[in-house]
C-alpha cells in the first residue's frame, strides 16, 4: 500500500456475500487507480465505533449494507436523498466531515434509463411493490423524475401509508387485492420486495394486463432473471434487474472515493452475472 493509496469498503453483517468488492475492484483495475476496496464484517455492537473511526482505519468512505443503513444515516451528515429516504448506503469523508447519501435512488433510476430510454416521458402512473427501505428509495427516485402517481402495494398497508406521509399525495397506498386492477394498462411496475428472491416466497403477478410499452423492474438479483422479468421479456417488454441497479448505484460512491466517474459496461455486467450464476 502506497502513501497515496485510497481505500473504501463495504460494511455489513454479514459482509462476505457482498458483490461490491468484485465490482469496485474491477473499476480500480480498469481505471488504473491506486486504490483498494474491502469487505468489513462488523457486528451491531461494534458498528458505531467502526463508523466513527473510518479515517483512522485508512478509509475515505464506505458502502453500508444490511443491517447498518439506519445507524449510518444517524452518524453522518445526510444529503437530500438520504434524508428523503431515511437511510444511507454510501459514506464519504469530506474535509474530515462524514457525509452520506442514498445511491439506491440513482441505482434504480439509472438502470431504468439504460434499459428503457424515455420511460419517464411515457409513464404517468407507476406501481411499486413493497414499502421497506428499498421501496422508499424506488419511490423517491420516481418522484424525483416527476412521476405524478405512484401506487405503493404492500402487505402491511400502514407502511405504504407511512410512505404517503413521507412523500406526499403522489403516493397512493394499496393492498395486494387491488393489484390486478392497477396493472391494467400500467406503464411501469417495480418489485421492491424480497419476493421472487432465491429461497424466498414466489412473486405471483400477471404481467399480461400491462401496457404494450410498459417497463418492468425487479430489485432482486438472485436469480438474475426472476419469473417476473422472464414473463415481462416474453411479452417483449423492457426490463431491468437487480444487478443493473447494483451496478448503477455503485457509480457515485466510486466517484466520491476515487475521483473518477466509472462506466457501467456489458463486460462488468457479465463479470458479476457469472459470479452470481456460479453461487
Residues acting as catalytic residues: 69
The reply on whether position 161 binds ligand ATR by CB under 6 A is no
Residue of the chain from 39, 85, 150, 195 that contacts ligand ATR (CB under 6 A) = 195
The reply on whether position 155 binds ligand ATR by CB under 6 A is yes
| Measured CA angle at 251 (ends 164, 268), to 5 deg | 120
> Are 38 and 21 spatial neighbours (Cβ–Cβ below 8 Å)?
yes
Q: 200 CB contacts (<8 Å, ≥6 apart)?
A: 194
The reply on whether position 164 binds ligand ATR by CB under 6 A is no
**How long a stretch of residues is the chain?**
279
The reply on whether position 12 binds ligand ATR by CB under 6 A is no
The reply on whether position 204 binds ligand ATR by CB under 6 A is no
Q: What span, in angstroms and rounded, lies between the C-alpha atoms of 200 and 103? A: 25
Binding segment toward ligand ATR, per CB under 6 A, in 31-39, 52-60, 71-79, 152-160: 152-160
Binding segment toward ligand ATR, per CB under 6 A, in 12-20, 162-170, 190-198, 209-217: 190-198
Residue of the chain from 84, 131, 139, 268 that contacts ligand ATR (CB under 6 A) = 131
Q: What span, in angstroms and rounded, lies between the C-alpha atoms of 129 and 152? A: 6
The reply on whether position 194 binds ligand ATR by CB under 6 A is yes
Cis ω before 14 (30° cut-off from 0):
yes
The reply on whether position 17 binds ligand ATR by CB under 6 A is no
Helices 20-30 and 266-278 pack at an angle, to 10 degrees, of 150
Q: Which residues bind ligand ATR (CB under 6 A)?
A: 130-135, 154-156, 159, 193-195, 201
Amino acid at each position: 500500500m502506497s502513501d497515496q493509496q485510497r481505500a473504501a469498503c463495504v460494511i455489513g453483517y454479514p459482509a462476505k456475500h457482498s458483490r461490491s468488492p468484485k465490482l469496485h475492484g474491477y473499476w480500480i483495475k480498469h481505471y488504473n487507480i491506486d486504490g483498494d476496496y474491502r469487505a468489513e464484517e462488523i457486528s451491531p455492537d461494534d458498528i458505531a465505533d467502526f463508523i466513527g473511526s473510518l479515517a483512522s482505519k485508512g478509509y475515505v468512505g464506505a458502502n453500508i449494507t444490511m443491517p447498518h443503513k439506519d445507524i449510518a444515516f444517524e452518524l453522518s451528515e445526510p444529503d437530500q436523498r438520504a434524508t428523503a429516504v431515511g437511510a444511507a448506503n454510501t459514506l464519504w469523508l469530506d474535509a474530515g466531515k462524514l457525509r452520506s447519501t442514498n445511491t439506491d435512488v440513482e441505482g434504480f433510476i439509472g438502470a431504468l434509463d439504460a434499459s428503457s430510454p424515455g420511460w419517464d416521458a411515457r409513464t404517468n402512473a407507476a406501481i411499486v411493490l413493497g414499502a421497506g427501505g428499498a421501496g422508499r428509495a424506488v419511490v423517491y427516485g420516481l418522484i424525483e423524475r416527476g412521476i405524478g402517481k405512484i401506487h405503493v402495494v404492500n402487505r402491511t398497508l400502514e407502511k405504504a401509508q407511512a410512505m404517503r406521509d413521507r412523500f406526499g399525495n403522489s403516493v397512493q397506498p394499496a393492498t395486494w387485492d387491488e393489484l390486478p386492477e392497477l396493472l391494467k394498462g400500467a406503464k411501469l411496475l417495480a418489485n421492491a420486495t424480497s419476493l421472487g428472491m432465491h429461497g424466498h416466497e414466489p412473486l405471483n403477478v400477471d404481467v399480461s394486463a400491462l401496457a404494450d410499452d410498459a417497463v418492468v423492474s425487479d430489485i432482486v438479483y438472485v436469480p438474475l432473471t426472476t419469473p417476473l422479468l422472464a414473463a415481462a421479456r416474453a411479452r417483449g417488454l423492457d426490463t431491468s434487474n437487480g444487478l443493473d441497479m447494483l451496478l448503477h448505484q455503485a457509480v457515485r460512491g466510486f466517484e466520491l472515493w476515487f475521483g473518477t466517474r466509472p462506466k457501467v459496461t456489458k463486460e462488468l455486467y457479465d463479470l458479476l452475472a457469472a459470479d452470481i450464476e456460479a453461487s
